[in-house]
Structure 1
Amino acid sequence: MDVLQQPRNEAPARMEALAKLPVFWALENKRCVIVGGSDAAAWKAELLASCGAHVEVFAETLSETFGALLTRPPAHASAKLTHRPEPWNEQVLAGATLTIGDFEDTDDAAVFFAAARAAGVPVNVIDKPAYCQFQFGSIVNRSPAIIAISTDGAAPILAQAIRRRIETLLPRSLKAWAALAQSVRESVNLWLEPGPQRRAFWEKFVEAAFTSAGAPDEEATVELIREAEALSTTTERGRVTLVGAGPGDAELLTLKAVRALQAADVILFDDLVSDEVLELARREAKRMLVGKRGGRESCKQEDINAMMVKLAKAGKRVVRLKSGDPMIFGRAGEEIAHLRQEGIPVDVIPGITAASAMASRLGISLTHRDHAQSVRFTTGHSRHGGLPDDMDWRSLADPKTTNVFYMGGRTAPLIARRLMEEGLSPETPAVVVNNVSRANERCWSGTLGSLGEGVRDIGYEQPVLIAVGNAFAEGRLAPLAIPGEAGKAASAGDGETDFYRATAAV
C-alpha cells in the first residue's frame, strides 16, 4: 500500500516543563497540624478536614470564623478538628503527615519552616512562598472528581478565573456520576480485561455523564454491570469518525470533536490540520499524516480508504481528521460510502468551514439582506487542475449571490474572467484570504477585475479562499481581533498578519 506516513506529530508530545508537580494527597485518618487561629488558617483547616484528616490546631486565640468552624460537624465522616489552646513547639510536629502555619513575622515563619523540615514534615506557611514546600490551588469540587488549578503563585486571580470557567463546563451531576463510577469499577474490571473493551465501556459511560440531563437513577448500577457483562462476550469492533478540524484555530473545535480526539486509537489527519488541534488528541493515539495538497506528492484516496478499513477491522477507533468541515470539499462522501460497503460503523462530527471563519474574521455577513439572497461554496479547480467543465457560470454571476471559491488560488484569473464574461461587473468587491484564523493569516480586498493581482500578492502556496460579492462592500473590510497567538503577533506589530487593500477597492 503506497501511503505516505510523514513524521509530523506521529510520536506523542513530550511533557512540557511544569512549575510544580500536581499531586492529590490521601489524608483520611492522617494527623495534620495547623499553627495559627486566623481566618486563613481556618480555611486550610476546613480543607484538610474535608479530606477526612485529623486536624490539630495550635493557637492561643481563634478568630470568630475559626471558632464557628469548630462547632460545626465536619463534612467528612472520618474528620476530626481539635483545638489546642497553647503555643506550638517542635514536639507537636512529630509524626504529622503535613503542617501549615500562619505567621505575620518572617522570622517566626523561618523558625517554623526549619522545625518542620527537621521533623521531615511537608510544610506550608500561608502567604509566604519562600517557606512553602507545597502550595494550594483553586479547586473545582465534584468529588470524587476533583480539579485543582495553580499558577505557581504568579496570578491567583487568574487561577480563580480559570476555576469559574471550568465550573460552568462541568455539570453538578458529575459528582454523582463519578461516585457511580467508583462504586462499579471493581465489578467492571472483573468482566472486562484491560484494553479496548474496558476503555470503550468507560468512554460510553463518560458520554452519558456529560450528555444526561441529571444524575444517574437507582437502576444505573445494575444496568452498567449488565452492559459490562454483555460487552465481555462480544468481539470488539472498530469504527471511524470523520471529524472537522476547522480552519486551524483550535478554539474553534466543537466539544464533540475534542471528545473524539481524546477517544481515538489512530488519527489520520490532513496536511492542513494545525499542530494546535493535534495537541488536543489523546496522547497515546497513533497519528498518521495522510494529507493531500495540490501540486505535491500526496496519499491516494484509495489508500486512505483501505487504511481506514484495515484499522477499523482490527478493532481500532479511527478519527479521520479533516481541515474545515468534512462534508464540504473533503471527499467525505467517498469515504463514507466505502466504509459502509465494508460494514464499518461511521459517523461525522462537523467543523467550521473556512468560509464561515473568513466571514467571522472580517465581520461580514455572507448573506447580508441588502446585498445577497444566497451564498454558494464552489470548488476552484477540477481534479485535472483547471476549472470544472460543468460549472454554471451564469448562475454564479448573479449579483445577488455571494460566491466563495475553495482551492482556487491558481485558477483565480480564470474565475474572474468567466464571471465577468457572464455579466458580473468588474467592480464587484472581492476578497482573498489564506491561512484563515491562523497566526500567519493574510487578506487582500479589491475588485473582481483585480482578483488575479490580489492572488499574486497573497500567494497560493498556502490554502487560499476567494470570495466575490456585493456583501463585501458592507462595513470595514479589516480583520477583527485575532484569537490566540495570532492576536499576540498582530498586537506586537511583527507583520505576521497582513491586510492588503487594492487601489480599486470600494
Structure 2
Amino acid sequence: MNYLPLFLDLTSKNILIVGGGEVAFNKITLLLKANAKVNVIAKDLCTDVENLLHENKITWISREFDSLFLKKMFLVIAATNDLKLNQYVFKLCNNRCLFVNVVDDKSKCSFIFPSIIDRSPIIISLSSGGTAPVLLRLLREKIESILPMKLGKVAKISGKWREVVKNSFNSLLARRRFWEKLFKGIFTEHILNENTEQATRILKNTLQEHTLLKGQISLVGAGPGDSGLLTLRGLQVLQQADVVLYDRLVSKDILNLIRRDAKRIYVGKRVGVKTISQEKIIKLLIFLARQGKRVVRLKGGDSFIFGRGGEEIEAAKNADIDFQIIPGITSAIGISAYTGIPLTHRKYSHGVVFITGHKYKNNFVNNFSILCNPFYTLVVYMGTLNAIEISEKLIMYGRLKSTPIAIISEGTTMNQKVIIGRLDEIKKIIHLIKTPSLLIIGEVVLFHEKLKWFNTNHSFNNIDNISNSIIKLI
C-alpha cells in the first residue's frame, strides 16, 4: 500500500492555494464542498476563481508568495506554472511537516487527491497512486452505476437513530446485528423510494423485537491459494464474520478479505510441530458460537476433502448450533488446472482417486491393487509425506516405474513450482520441493508440457537438470 487513505475534517480549517488558474479552481471547488476556509495567493485570478471571490467564498490574501503565509495553514496546494515556485513551496512545507500537494507532480506531494464517489455522508475514494488513471476511471464508472444516488439519505436517517439504537442494545455485537438486519430488509428500499415514514416504522418495529443473539458456525473452503479462487459466497460470509479461525494454508491475500474488525485466531497444524489439537479447535468453535458470534472456520482447499470439516460440523450439530457449509475449490482441482494437467482424459484416464500422504489410524490401509490401475489418475494430498513408500507399493502392485508424476508446491500462487518426473524417481526429487505439496500420478501428467500456462518459469521437466535449476532459482 503506497498511500494510506484518510478522510480529513476540513471544516473551518485554513487551506492555502498557490495559484489562481483553472487547475486551482478545480481544487478550490472540492475544498469548498468540504467546508474549508480557502486562502488564495496568485498574481491574477481566472474568471471562475474571481467569481468565488466576489461571492465571498474564498479569501485572496496576496499576489506574491511568502513563507509567512504558511502559518496556521492546515494543508497547502501549489497549482502554478512556475516550477521554481512550486519547488520552493514544497520544500518549505515538507520542512515544516505540513501537508502539501504540487498539482501534476507526484514527487512533490505528501498527499494526493483520490477519485471521489459522493453519496454524502457516504464517501468512497479511489486511487491508483497515479499509475493507471484510465483503469481508475473505468472502476469508478462501475461503482457509480451500482450505488443509488439517494444512498446518502439512508445513512442520514440511520445516523439520527444511532443513539437510540445504542441505548437499546448493551453490546456492540447486538447493535451490529440490528443494523445488518435493517439494511438487508425493505427499510433501505423505502428510503430510496422516498417512503421515509414507512422506513421509520420498520426501524421502530425492528428495534422492539429484541431477538436474542444466536451464534452460527460457517465452514468455508478458501481454495488452493489464489485469492481469486475464493467463492463469492465465501467472501460474503467472511465479510459478516465476528471471529475467523484459520489454517496455515490460507493465503495472506484471502486473510485480507476478512472484515477488518473481525477477530482472527490462528489454529493451523503442521506435521512434526506441536500445535493446537483438533479437540481444542472444536471446543473453541462451540464456545465462541454459544456467545452469539458468527464464527467462520476457514480452511485451505475444500473443508470436506481431507480437511476434517465433517468432524467439526458434526460437533456443531451435536451441540445444537446452527451451521452452514460453503465449499471451496479443492487443491487437486485448482492445482491441476493451474498446471495444465487434466485429471481425467478420454484416452488416458477414466477416473481420479484422491488419497492423503498421512498414515491412517485405526489400522486403515490403502488398497494398492486398485490404486495401481493405470487408467486412473492418482492424486496424493500432502504429497511429500510417505511419498517414497507410496511409490514403492504402487510399483510393487504393478504400476509401471515409468509412470509420469508431477509434484507441485504452493500451487495456484505466484510461487507455484512444478517438478515432472517418473514414479521411480521420487527419491531423487522429493527433497527439491517445499511442503505442503501435491503429488499427481498418471499418464495425464504428460499434458503439462503442452498445456502449462501459469507461472511457467518454475516448471522443471528434466530430472537431470532439476537440481541445477533449483539452485539458480534460489
TM norm structure 1: 0.71
* Partner Cα separation in structure 2 for residue 250 and residue 141 of structure 1: 29
Q: Which of residues 399, 412, 424 is equivalent to 2:387? A: 412
1:247 maps to amino acid? P
Structure 2 residue 221 is matched with structure 1 residue 247: no
Worse overlay, 372-381 or 342-351: 372-381
Which has a greater percent of helix? 2
Match of 1:453 in 2: 427
Provide the alpha-carbon RMSD of the alignment: 4.8
Match of 1:499 in 2: 460
* Partner Cα separation in structure 2 for residue 454 and residue 216 of structure 1: 67
Instruction: Specify whether residues 99 and 295 from structure 1 end up closer, same or farther in structure 2 by C-alpha distance, changes over 3 A only.
Output: closer
Match of 1:301 in 2: 278
Instruction: Specify whether residues 140 and 423 from structure 1 end up closer, same or farther in structure 2 by C-alpha distance, changes over 3 A only.
Output: farther
Q: Which of residues 199, 209, 215 is equivalent to 1:221? A: 199
Match of 1:429 in 2: 404
* Partner Cα separation in structure 2 for residue 502 and residue 319 of structure 1: 43
User: Which residues of structure 2 form unaligned runs of 5+?
Assistant: 467-474
Instruction: Specify whether residues 96 and 242 from structure 1 end up closer, same or farther in structure 2 by C-alpha distance, changes over 3 A only.
Output: same
* TM-aligned CA deviation for residue 39 of structure 1: 3.6
2:384 maps to amino acid? G
**Once the two structures are superposed, what CA deviation does each residue of 1:120-166 show, in whole Å capped at 9, x if it has no partner?**
99764433568766432333445433333457xxx512466456446
Instruction: Specify whether residues 417 and 298 from structure 1 end up closer, same or farther in structure 2 by C-alpha distance, changes over 3 A only.
Output: same
Q: Is the 8 A contact 2:17 2:24 kept in 1?
A: yes
**Once the two structures are superposed, what CA deviation does each residue of 1:165-222 show, in whole Å capped at 9, x if it has no partner?**
466467522654454133213324413445111122344567779xx99995556834
Structure 2 residue 7 is matched with structure 1 residue 44: no
Match of 1:180 in 2: 154
Match of 2:419 in 1: 444
Match of 1:494 in 2: none
* Partner Cα separation in structure 1 for residue 201 and residue 369 of structure 2: 58
Instruction: Specify whether residues 223 and 270 from structure 1 end up closer, same or farther in structure 2 by C-alpha distance, changes over 3 A only.
Output: farther
Worse overlay, 176-185 or 421-430: 421-430
Match of 1:345 in 2: 322
Worse overlay, 273-282 or 125-134: 125-134
Match of 1:157 in 2: 131
* Partner Cα separation in structure 1 for residue 334 and residue 176 of structure 2: 35
Q: Is the 8 A contact 1:241 1:318 kept in 2?
A: yes
1:463 maps to amino acid? P
Higher relative contact order (CA 8 A, sep 6+): 1
Instruction: Specify whether residues 263 and 501 from structure 1 end up closer, same or farther in structure 2 by C-alpha distance, changes over 3 A only.
Output: farther
* Partner Cα separation in structure 1 for residue 300 and residue 395 of structure 2: 31
Structure 2 residue 439 is matched with structure 1 residue 466: yes
**Once the two structures are superposed, what CA deviation does each residue of 1:63-110 show, in whole Å capped at 9, x if it has no partner?**
7xx75x999x9xxxxx986798x9578899999876644222245446
* Partner Cα separation in structure 2 for residue 83 and residue 255 of structure 1: 51
The 5 Å alignment of 1:87-166 reads 87=63, 100-109=77-86, 124-127=101-104, 134-149=111-126, 156-158=130-132, 161=135, 164-165=138-139
Q: Is the 8 A contact 1:56 1:81 kept in 2?
A: no
2:439 maps to amino acid? I
1:48 maps to amino acid? L
1:157 maps to amino acid? T
1:172 maps to amino acid? I
Q: Which of residues 289, 294, 304 is equivalent to 2:266? A: 289
* TM-aligned CA deviation for residue 452 of structure 1: 3.4
Structure 2 residue 449 is matched with structure 1 residue 476: yes
The 5 Å alignment of 1:308-387 reads 308-384=285-361
* TM-aligned CA deviation for residue 440 of structure 1: 5.2
What is the count of residue pairs matched by the alignment? Answer: 457
* Partner Cα separation in structure 2 for residue 185 and residue 452 of structure 1: 64
Instruction: Specify whether residues 144 and 184 from structure 1 end up closer, same or farther in structure 2 by C-alpha distance, changes over 3 A only.
Output: same
* TM-aligned CA deviation for residue 325 of structure 1: 1.3
* Partner Cα separation in structure 2 for residue 216 and residue 333 of structure 1: 44
Instruction: Specify whether residues 310 and 39 from structure 1 end up closer, same or farther in structure 2 by C-alpha distance, changes over 3 A only.
Output: same
- SS of the residue 2:131 aligns to: helix
**Once the two structures are superposed, what CA deviation does each residue of 1:27-65 show, in whole Å capped at 9, x if it has no partner?**
5687866554534223323423444667687778777xx
- SS of the residue 2:7 aligns to: coil
Match of 1:266 in 2: 243
Instruction: Specify whether residues 53 and 274 from structure 1 end up closer, same or farther in structure 2 by C-alpha distance, changes over 3 A only.
Output: closer
Instruction: Specify whether residues 94 and 311 from structure 1 end up closer, same or farther in structure 2 by C-alpha distance, changes over 3 A only.
Output: closer
Instruction: Specify whether residues 431 and 314 from structure 1 end up closer, same or farther in structure 2 by C-alpha distance, changes over 3 A only.
Output: same
* TM-aligned CA deviation for residue 366 of structure 1: 2.6
**Once the two structures are superposed, what CA deviation does each residue of 1:366-425 show, in whole Å capped at 9, x if it has no partner?**
334544444333334443398735x4843x455443332223433434544555566554
2:241 maps to amino acid? A
* Partner Cα separation in structure 1 for residue 408 and residue 35 of structure 2: 58
TM norm structure 2: 0.75
Structure 2 residue 12 is matched with structure 1 residue 25: no
* Partner Cα separation in structure 1 for residue 280 and residue 59 of structure 2: 72
* Partner Cα separation in structure 1 for residue 431 and residue 110 of structure 2: 57
Q: Is the 8 A contact 1:140 1:163 kept in 2?
A: no
1:126 maps to amino acid? V
- SS of the residue 1:409 aligns to: coil
